[in-house]
Amino acid sequence: MKDKLSKLIDVKSIVTILLTGVFGYLSIRGEVTPDQFLTVFTVVIAFYFGTQAQKRAEEAGHE
């Protein structure tokens, strides 16, 4: 359980969650168009999950 919590508190995770919240808020306020939100959100999520997949692949290769 502590291991999962420590991974959640990883800097990349915090940045991803924070950016998602900020752009969601700006989108609700109308300061960011839905197209801009979708572009930024897609890039952030793709980066986050891409780095997680790479990290798992590297860990699996070391075993």
- Spans of all domains in the chain: 2-62
The closest alpha carbon to 22, from 40, 39, 3, belongs to 40
62 or 53, greater pLDDT = 53
| Three-class DSSP category at 29 | helix
Q: What is the average pLDDT score of the chain?
A: 79
Q: At what angle do helices 11-29 and 34-62 cross, to 10 degrees?
A: 170
- From the CA atom positions of the chain, what is the Rg in Å? 15
| pLDDT in the model for residue 29 | 92
Percent of the chain with pLDDT over 70: 87
Residues of the chain with pLDDT > 90, as a percent, come to: 3
Are the beta carbons of 7 and 13 closer than 8 angstroms? yes
pTM of the model: 0.55
